């Protein structure tokens, strides 16, 4: 049992908070940014978005990123936790309504980059699962229990299967038991 299990999902966010707090402080005191137009409707990066477009876009991208991240989860407990976490985009949208538009824009761009990263991870995972399925293995169910006695007595040793043709690296899921 992991005593930190409830907060491990927040750890990457904790690393960003000093940057966000520093960025917020910089935007509130930077004289050269006051009144400097940025793009379209954003006429001042140190003030809140007057049309609330950037906070809404940030909330939508945060929601999309969470949906992409939880598309592969099968455990009912994790699914229930993730349904609860769907409140977070709404909470962060409400929090970001009155924050400087430069900070919200930073978070929005960060979410876009996170969506791209999650897409690449999901794509790579899909290819790995397809190659494992084609090799006759299963990426979901059959996990080896190394160094347990076999039904007929001796301890089985775990050794890697033959290496794949494409990259020469056998994924962990392709481990086989030697008699």
Which of 109, 93, 112 has the alpha carbon at shortest distance from 48? Answer: 93
Which of 107, 97, 86 has the alpha carbon at shortest distance from 21? Answer: 107
Mean pLDDT of each 10-residue bin along the chain, 179 residues long: 60 76 81 78 86 93 87 78 83 90 89 91 86 71 47 53 49 41
In whole angstroms, give the CA distance from residue 21 to residue 75.
Answer: 35
Which of 106, 93, 125, 90 has the alpha carbon at shortest distance from 19? Answer: 106
User: By the 8 A CB rule, do 88 and 62 touch?
Assistant: yes
In whole angstroms, give the CA distance from residue 145 to residue 177.
Answer: 9
pLDDT tens digit sequence for 29-51: 877 777 777 888 888 888 888 89
pTM higher than 0.75: no
């Amino acid at each position: 049992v992991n005593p930190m299990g409830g907060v491990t999902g927040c750890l990457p966010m904790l690393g960003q908070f000093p940057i966000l707090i520093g960025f917020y402080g910089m935007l509130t005191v930077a004289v050269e940014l006051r009144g400097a137009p940025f793009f379209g409707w954003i006429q001042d990066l140190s003030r809140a978005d007057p049309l609330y477009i950037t906070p809404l876009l940030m909330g939508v991208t945060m929601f999309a990123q969470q949906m992409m991240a939880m598309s592969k989860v099968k455990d009912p407990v994790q699914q229930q936790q993730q349904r609860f976490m769907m409140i977070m985009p709404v909470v962060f949208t409400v929090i970001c309504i009155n924050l400087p538009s430069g900070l919200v824009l930073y978070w929005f761009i960060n979410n876009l980059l996170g969506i791209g990263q999650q897409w690449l991870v999901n794509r790579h995972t899909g290819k790995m699962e397809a190659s494992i399925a084609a090799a006759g293995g299963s990426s979901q169910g059959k996990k080896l229990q190394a160094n347990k006695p076999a039904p007929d007595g001796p301890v089985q040793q775990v050794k890697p299967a033959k290496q794949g043709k494409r990259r020469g690296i056998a994924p962990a899921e392709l481990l086989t038991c030697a008699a």
